[in-house]
Amino acid sequence: MEAGAISSSDGGCSDEQQEHDENHSQEVQKYEARKPKWWMKLSGRRGTRAQRQTIERMTQCGYCFSRQVLSDFSRVNNSAKHSSSAAEQLSSDSWRRVWWNRSLAVVDENDDAAQVTPIIDTVSNSRNVKHAQKIQSMYSNKSPLVPQKFERIVLEIGFGSGDNILANAMRDKSTLFVGSEIHQPGCGTVLQKMEAEMGLKMRAEGSDIEEKKIDTTTSISSENSGDAPNKATSYENVRILQGDGVKLLSHLPCKYLDAILITFPDPWPKEGHSHWRVVQPNVLVEMHRVLKCDGKVFVATDAECFNDWTRNIFTQESSKGDWEEVTPCPNRSTWLPIVSYYEQKGIDEGRHTMLQCWKKK
């Protein structure tokens, strides 16, 4: 990926802007994460046994996050909010930054882990044992991968089988690509590709979990290790979250992402179903909060209804001074280098692809 298409700066966002975002978020409609039962059934929630095993192995290696992480994160943060002033700090932005950097194995000179450690101890001591243990384990979460410095962090919401995230990760090693997908088979598919490409499964066979962790960590950190198969660095800039990308936004710290990609999302064409579309006014508020200054949202769709809906909502929010459209839209080869199964299906059925890019102001 060319840095120009998705790069953003971290300076210049004022506290007033943040306050504006917070006030704004109270006015807008809520995102409807719970989908209808018939949709859940159709979308096949469970992956195959092999996929589930891969998800398990890749979670142990640090490339995958389980849904449980998000629910623990929100449970601990919610209860912390209502307890003590020390606990309040646990849900603060600096904590989130430290937590995500550690969990994604990102080196960031701006986080100050030493400053926040005593807060965990205070909170853990002041609660009942079970809750204290939960907090300890939640806040001690750390990726087994060797932390690295990335120039950019990009989130793709609803990556399907993950071809785009993998293609982007291959072409731009200086960017960390975080993908979220609610469909377990989709997560299984992309992780199987990663595991095969990096030779992780081969390494894991015949070893216990501890050995796998050490072996994997060592293998991806030593580019010239000479071990066969030596493709271990291929996807070290990819992290997969099996869960709702919109919910994930609410857990991220402010000004954390450089870009958000939404490619061929479910269009929910019936007017009465529009509240299930990924792009909603309140989702834009969260996107605005988590993007760095000049951070961008890229949207690709072949559904007229979704394209118009997205443009209307962004235009509405732009009138409040939050967004501006980037025209012409940056070349798709810099963010959508592949033609996915869903795009091809649309082309075969006579639809055409529409692209939009919106920049945070």
Should residue 160 be labelled a site residue for ligand SAM when binding is judged by CB under 6 A? yes
Q: Of 178, 155, 166, 175, which Cα lies nearest the Cα of 2? A: 175
Which one of 17-25, 121-129, 251-259, 262-270 is the stretch in contact with ligand SAM (CB under 6 A)? 262-270
Residues 309-338 close enough to bind ligand SAM by CB under 6 A: none
Q: Which of 61, 98, 187, 246 is close enough to bind ligand SAM by CB under 6 A?
A: 246
Nearer to ligand SAM, 99 or 342 (CB): 342
Should residue 181 be labelled a site residue for ligand SAM when binding is judged by CB under 6 A? yes
Should residue 157 be labelled a site residue for ligand SAM when binding is judged by CB under 6 A? yes
Should residue 358 be labelled a site residue for ligand SAM when binding is judged by CB under 6 A? no
Distance of closest approach, residue 94 Cβ to ligand SAM, in angstroms? 26
Should residue 180 be labelled a site residue for ligand SAM when binding is judged by CB under 6 A? yes
Nearer to ligand SAM, 113 or 355 (CB): 355
Look-up of token digits 């033609």? 339
Which one of 158-166, 187-195, 230-238, 306-314 is the stretch in contact with ligand SAM (CB under 6 A)? 158-166
Strand order across the 238-242 sheet: 64-65, 238-242, 175-181, 152-157, 257-263, 291-301, 354-360, 323-325
Dist. CA 217–CA 228, nearest whole Å: 15
Dist. CA 326–CA 323, nearest whole Å: 9
Should residue 47 be labelled a site residue for ligand SAM when binding is judged by CB under 6 A? no
Pattern of binders to ligand SAM over 183-212, x per CB under 6 A? x--x--------------------------
Should residue 265 be labelled a site residue for ligand SAM when binding is judged by CB under 6 A? yes
Contact 44, 329 (CB under 8 A): no
Distance of closest approach, residue 324 Cβ to ligand SAM, in angstroms? 25
Interacting residue ranges for ligand SAM, rule: CB under 6 A: 43, 157-160, 180-183, 186, 244-246, 263-266, 278, 340-343
